[in-house]
Structure 1
Amino acid sequence: MCGRYVVATPFQQMALDFGAATEVEFAAHYNLAPTACVPVLWQRAEDDGALRLDVARWGLVPYWAKDPGIGVRAFNARMETADQKPMFRTAFVRRRCLLPADGYYEWRKGEGKTKQPMFIHSQDGAQLAFAGLYERWKDAEGRSLWSVSILTGPAAGDELAAIHDRMPLTVARDRIELWLDPELRDAERVRSLLDLDSVPAWTARAVGPAVGNVRNNTAELIAPLVADAENPAGGRETTGVQAREISGVQALF
């Protein structure tokens, strides 16, 4: 599963890299967690099908939900069953998106109850495009909440499987146009666009325990874990800072 990830690439650079228009700003964030606003690349009917880079709330709220709180547990969707589950099936065939990312965190089990946080990213440092689904929910006053979920699949390769049995799935750059196409509605064809064999592209490194606190949000969170004389096991804790707010953007708009 993917429950924390990193977006460090400048927002305007992201828009340029993907060839997308944008009118919002997003500060670098090293500890994104469910219910936060996150960058999303999509082609919505509301934008006349134009490719746009916007923000949405992480945790999918289907249009039929009575309460948006349902999205708290829907931040991931299993690739194998997304087209069957009521929560995700409409979005899987009609409302797909991408979530740009620079890597994600997972916790590797150690001895007893100990867990080691790991930062997982592409070997060449390239920005990733997590496969996602999106929905639009409206409240009683007609205000819209746009929300997203990240598709996951079995971990690719022994290294990642040793950390966790699931991982966020990505979409290769040459498949992005098809992935975002709302006219593509065949579930098996959609599934075939996902990158299910990305063993050579991923690498993982141990990082410090500060990432466990969602209030911490600095580049130090992704720094390699190193041992020192005071702490031979490594993992010197860092205080971090309060998570930055997204400039001029709200999740509900």
Structure 2
Amino acid sequence: MCGRYTITVSLEELMLHFLLGSGPASYGPRYNVAPGQWIPAILGGGEGAPGRLGELRWGLVPGWTKEAGGGPKPINLRAETVGEKPGFQRLLMRKRCLIPADGFYEWRKTGNGAKQPVRFVMKDRSPFGMAALYDTWVDPSGGKLHTCTIITTSPNEVVAGVHDRMPVILPREAEKIWLDRTVADVRPLLPLLTPYPADKMTSYEVDARVGNSRYDAPDCIEPMRTLL
């Protein structure tokens, strides 16, 4: 699964990397993003139009849900089955987005039963986009709640030693297809949902304080020991 991640680059770097046309004034670095929080998301784009940076709440509340507070709010959907259920297939066809990140955390089991957090990043420390779906739930009075879920896949060689899932990280050339609203056929989309090349990634251990979802400070990403 993908349950924690980071996005610490500046707004200018983020907009330049993803060729965004606009961004929220409230954007700031995040060192320990957790489910249930409002997170940056890239929507739109395609046919030469730039994407835009907005905010979605992490934990999907589908539009067909009767009550926003009831039922599961999946933070992840599996790439292998995301196209099987009609509801999620509709989101795959019409409501795709990218969640910008520059790292994500997973926890490795240690010999004494404890869990050691590990941060996974690109070797060049560049930001990347995680494939995600979003939807809008409307309450009886017309109020809208915009939420999202991140798609996961099987791990590459870097992640496999720590966890059996990883977020779908899209290569730059695949981001345009994913965000293109004119693409409504899932057939060219499903092959994109594969593990990111391991030779472009690395990882390192971080302090256990990242286990506290309320703790969000720069020392969350300080390395303890590089994994070989």
TM-score, normalisation: structure 1: 0.82
Post-superposition offset of 1:69:
3.1
1:168 matched to which residue of 2? Answer: 167
Listed as ranges, the gaps of 5+ residues in structure 2 are: none
Is 1:122 the equivalent of 2:130? Answer: no
Deviations 1:56-76 (A, max 9, x none): 101111111112235864111
Is 1:182 the equivalent of 2:181? Answer: yes
Task: Please give the alpha-carbon distance, in whole angstroms, between the structure 1 residues aligned to 2:153 and 2:91.
Answer: 17
Whether contact under 8 Å (1:172, 1:195) holds in the other structure is no
Is 1:40 the equivalent of 2:41? Answer: yes
Post-superposition offset of 1:18:
1.6
What pairs with 1:1-253 in structure 2 (closer than 5 Å)?
1-24=1-24, 25-43=26-44, 51-69=51-69, 73-86=73-86, 88-157=88-157, 159-225=158-224
Deviations 1:27-79 (A, max 9, x none): 111111111011111118xxxx7621111101111111112235864111100
Matched AA of 1:137: W
Deviates more, 1:111-120 or 1:80-89: 80-89
Task: Please give the alpha-carbon distance, in whole angstroms, between the structure 1 residues aligned to 2:196 and 2:34.
Answer: 26
**Corresponding pairs, count:** 221
User: RMSD across aligned C-alpha pairs, in angstroms?
Assistant: 1.8
What SS does the corresponding residue of 2:177 show, helix, strand or coil?
A: helix
Matched AA of 1:179: W
Task: Please give the alpha-carbon distance, in whole angstroms, between the structure 2 residues aligned to 1:210 and 1:107.
Answer: 12
Task: Please give the alpha-carbon distance, in whole angstroms, between the structure 2 residues aligned to 1:112 and 1:72.
Answer: 32
Pair 1:122–1:50, CA change in 2 (3 A)? closer
Task: Please give the alpha-carbon distance, in whole angstroms, between the structure 1 residues aligned to 2:126 and 2:182.
Answer: 29
Listed as ranges, the gaps of 5+ residues in structure 1 are: 227-253
1:251 matched to which residue of 2? Answer: none
What SS does the corresponding residue of 1:211 show, helix, strand or coil?
A: helix
Q: Which has the larger radius of gyration?
A: 1
**Which protein is richer in strand relative to its size?**
2
TM-score, normalisation: structure 2: 0.90
Post-superposition offset of 1:182:
2.3
Whether contact under 8 Å (2:17, 2:127) holds in the other structure is no
Identity, % of aligned positions: 35
